[in-house]
């Protein structure tokens, strides 16, 4: 395999079939996750749900993801990567179809739980597979995978808006995602996957302290993303003073920054040391937040939010690369345990910020963004210390 790798770690003959398979599967998963915010208002109106009940759909996905993070590695060892990837896509697509047919609240919430429980095997397995293929330059593959995934995420609201504009409703947009996942699995049905490097012996060895430090960086990165993603529209409306439509448009600067950052980032990772790039991303995030939060000028605030998106874009793929790399032969287990970090962040961040906003105001609640980023930087340096100590033993 090493003979087929170029200096940047991507195969000399191009991105191999397995790599594209992983990219597309991750795109399918993030499409369905990304479309949740667009379809829940329609589901709320159809089933006459309260806002609290609506939020249970997201919590159900997070709960399913957490279960995978706890026991998924054992399931993968039992049934193998190839079978579990196929099952994850087919099963999660069935859960998505169930959501479009849900006649009652308990069915829609259960379908979201099933999607998280079955579909989370995709992001739990893909990093380990890419790591085995691309070795030391897994960071390039991770950045590219996240860039592809974010393109799918941006497509979700666009297709929903298109189908609603055509008077077809929200369901075709959801079914299109399910169909894309199934077609991808069928297209790559005979594609062999690299065997796991993890053995029974390595599976019994605890993951190193450096891994858990980088794992915390992952959680803080997702917390930063969600603290901005969920509250930016309301912040622009209630604090900056924009109209609801203008606030929604202004909040799109974050998505634009994320998309640009992930596309450009896959090139930057080839030219800049990844650990230095992480610190640059963190500084960009904090500087962007200062402009976003520290002014009443809408233009400056929007520009700051764009900078936040640029900074946040690479935090997750870089931290993921650090975590998987520190686990060495235990990549499968490390990849599965990674799912606990975003799962907990998605489950806990919205209610935490909501409680702060209710008690101290939305502007104060947004200050949790630099707090999360600061904790992530501290965890990064702790991981670096732990990694160096381990390399010296």
Q: What local confidence, expressed as pLDDT, does residue 202 receive?
A: 61
* 156 & 227 share domain: no
In a domain, 281, yes or no: yes
The pLDDT confidence band at residue 37, using thresholds 50, 70 and 90, is low
* 86 & 18 share domain: yes
| Contacts by residues 10-17 (CB-CB < 8 Å, ≥ 24 positions apart) | 10/134, 10/137, 10/140, 10/141, 15/144, 16/133, 17/188, 17/191
Domain that residue 64 falls in: 1-196
Q: What is the mean pLDDT of the chain?
A: 86
DSSP letter for 196, please: P
* 217 & 179 share domain: no
Give the Å distances, CA to CA, from 376 to 173, 215, 286, 291, 339. Answer: 35, 10, 12, 20, 17
In a domain, 202, yes or no: no
Write the pLDDT tens digit of every residue in 223-265.
998 888 778 887 888 888 888 778 878 888 888 899 899 888 8
In a domain, 261, yes or no: yes
In a domain, 201, yes or no: no
* 278 & 381 share domain: yes
What backbone torsions phi and psi does residue 338 show, to the nearest 5 degrees? Answer: -55, -35
Q: What local confidence, expressed as pLDDT, does residue 199 receive?
A: 60
Mean pLDDT of 82-97: 94
Q: Under a CB-based contact definition with an 8 Å cutoff, are residues 279 and 302 in contact? A: no
Mean pLDDT of 301-327: 92
Q: Under a CB-based contact definition with an 8 Å cutoff, are residues 165 and 43 in contact? A: no
Per the model's pLDDT, the better-predicted residue between 389 and 379 turns out to be: 379
| Residue 358 predicted with pLDDT over 50 | yes
- Please tell me the least confidently modeled range out of 12-26, 173-187, 319-333, 352-366: 12-26
SS3 5: strand
In a domain, 39, yes or no: yes
In a domain, 262, yes or no: yes
Phi-psi category of residue 272: left, alpha or beta, with phi > 0 → left and psi -120 to 50 → alpha:
beta
* 318 & 369 share domain: yes
In a domain, 67, yes or no: yes
Write the pLDDT tens digit of every residue in 53-76.
777 888 888 889 999 988 888 888
* 182 & 252 share domain: no
* 192 & 320 share domain: no
| Residue 4 predicted with pLDDT over 80 | no
Last residue of a domain, one of 146, 175, 196: 196
Q: What local confidence, expressed as pLDDT, does residue 244 receive?
A: 75
* 134 & 229 share domain: no
Mean pLDDT of 268-282: 92
SS3 296: coil
Of the ranges 118-122, 235-239, 247-251, 329-333, the best mean pLDDT one? 118-122
Counted residue by residue, the chain has a size of 393
* 54 & 188 share domain: yes
* Cα-based angle 293, 52, 364 (whole degrees, multiple of 5): 20
Last residue of a domain, one of 196, 217, 242: 196
* 167 & 270 share domain: no
How many independent structural domains does the chain possess? 2
- Structure tokens given for 313: 């874009």
* 184 & 139 share domain: yes
Last residue of a domain, one of 169, 196, 223: 196
| Residue 5 predicted with pLDDT over 60 | no
- Please tell me the least confidently modeled range out of 13-17, 62-66, 325-329: 13-17
Per the model's pLDDT, the better-predicted residue between 299 and 195 turns out to be: 299
- Of all residues in the chain, the percent with pLDDT exceeding 90 is 39
CA distance 284 to 102: 43
What dihedral do alpha carbons 327, 130, 37, 362 form, nearest 10°? 40
The CATH number that applies at residue 46 is 1.20.1250.20
* Cα-based angle 309, 170, 313 (whole degrees, multiple of 5): 10
- Structure tokens given for 29: 């998963």
């Amino acid at each position: 395999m090493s003979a087929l790798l170029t200096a940047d770690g991507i195969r000399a003959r191009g991105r191999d079939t397995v790599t594209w398979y992983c990219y597309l599967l991750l795109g399918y998963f993030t499409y369905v996750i990304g479309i949740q915010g667009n379809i829940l208002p329609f589901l709320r109106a159809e089933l006459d749900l309260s806002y609290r009940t609506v939020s249970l759909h997201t919590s159900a996905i997070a709960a399913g993801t957490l279960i995978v993070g706890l026991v998924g590695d054992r399931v993968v060892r039992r049934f193998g990567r190839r079978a579990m990837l196929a099952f994850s896509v087919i099963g999660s697509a069935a859960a998505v179809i169930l959501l479009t047919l849900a006649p009652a609240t308990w069915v829609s919430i259960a379908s979201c739980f099933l999607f998280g429980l079955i579909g989370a095997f995709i992001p739990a397995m893909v990093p380990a597979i890419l790591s085995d293929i691309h070795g030391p330059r897994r960071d390039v593959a991770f950045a590219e995978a996240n860039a592809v995934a974010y393109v799918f995420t941006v497509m979700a609201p666009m297709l929903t808006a298109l189908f609603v504009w055509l008077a077809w409703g929200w369901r075709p947009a959801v079914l299109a995602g399910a169909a894309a996942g199934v077609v991808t699995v069928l297209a790559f049905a005979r594609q062999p996957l690299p065997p796991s490097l993890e053995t029974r012996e390595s599976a019994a060895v605890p993951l190193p302290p450096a891994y858990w430090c980088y794992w915390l960086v992952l959680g803080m990165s997702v917390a930063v993303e969600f603290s901005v993603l969920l509250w930016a529209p309301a912040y622009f409306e209630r604090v900056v003073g924009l109209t609801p439509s203008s606030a929604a448009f202004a909040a799109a600067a974050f998505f634009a920054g994320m998309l640009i950052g992930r596309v450009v980032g896959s090139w930057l990772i080839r030219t800049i040391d990844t650990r230095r790039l992480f610190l640059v991303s963190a500084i960009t995030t904090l500087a962007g937040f200062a402009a976003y939060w520290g002014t009443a000028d809408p233009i400056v605030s929007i520009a700051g939010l764009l900078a936040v998106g640029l900074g946040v874009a690479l935090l997750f793929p870089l931290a993921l690369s650090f975590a998987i790399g520190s686990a060495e032969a235990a990549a499968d287990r490390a990849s599965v345990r990674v799912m606990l970090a975003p799962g907990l962040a998605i489950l806990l961040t919205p209610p935490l910020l909501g409680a702060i906003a209710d008690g101290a105001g939305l502007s104060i609640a947004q200050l949790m963004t630099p707090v999360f980023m600061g904790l992530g930087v501290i965890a990064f340096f702790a991981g670096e210390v732990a990694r160096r100590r381990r390399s010296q033993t």
